[in-house]
Chains A and B, each alone.
Chain A
């Protein structure tokens, strides 16, 4: 158990809909990362937050948005869903934000299926 909690574990929805994925980082971790992994693909970095502030953006679509709340949990919002958005979405947390010492601990992922 990594200590990172993601909900829901599985989600099936239709095209055009909107979903919210939730992540609770490990206790004490200030950084939260979101990654997308499509079928047989690597990990595509979406976005990173540190202590409530956005730190870096990767290949995140404009239809997607995220935020990190004061209690450090994070939500990833996916809207106007398309078939191609079907993927495993991982959240990871790290204690580090200002120094490169922290390995990422991953949640179990949220598997999104868009029909």
Chain B
């Protein structure tokens, strides 16, 4: 069964600190995709990144970076030099095939990040 665990419910950091959001997943599939979404206080869900199971290269996009490690089934997200605008709930998600061969997406419970000025 698919499962995504975000053990950190809430994190508070002071502006300019680095912060890492953890995500651990479970799947039986060898082909799967992992995502991160951001939900700011306004409520919309914003897609941040997609990573497939065959690409373990870390990715950096500005102040954001993602560390994908299949050996530990983790897909962690780091924000460098955090800013107040980073305050949001961040969701990790796993996409793999259900028993019928169709896409199934499972979300973690989210981590609420508060960046204090």
Name A's B-contacting residues (CB within 8 A). Answer: 2, 31, 33, 35, 42-43, 45, 48, 50, 55-56, 88, 90, 92, 94, 96-106, 108-109, 111
Contacts and interface: CB of A to CB of B under 8 A. Distances in A.
Interface of B: 29, 31-33, 35, 37, 43-45, 47, 50, 52, 91, 93, 95-98, 100-110
Given A42-B91, A101-B33, A106-B44, 19 more contacts: A42-B110, A43-B91, A50-B102, A55-B100, A56-B98, A56-B104, A88-B43, A90-B45, A94-B105, A97-B103, A98-B103, A99-B97, A102-B95, A103-B47, A104-B47, A105-B47, A106-B47, A108-B44, A109-B44
> What 8 pairs between A and B have smallest CB-CB spacing?
A106-B45, A42-B109, A43-B107, A96-B103, A103-B50, A100-B95, A100-B103, A42-B110
Contacts of A92: 45
A22 to B, nearest CB: 17
Contact of B96 (A42, A100, A111): A100
A100 B43 CA distance: 26
A58 to B, nearest CB: 10
Nearest to B105: A104
Contacts of B109: 42
Given A43-B107, A55-B102, A56-B102, A100 B32 contact: yes
Contacts of B29: 100
Contacts of B107: 35, 42-43, 45
11 contacts: A43-B107, A56-B102, A56-B104, A92-B45, A98-B101, A99-B97, A100-B33, A102-B103, A103-B33, A103-B95, A109-B44
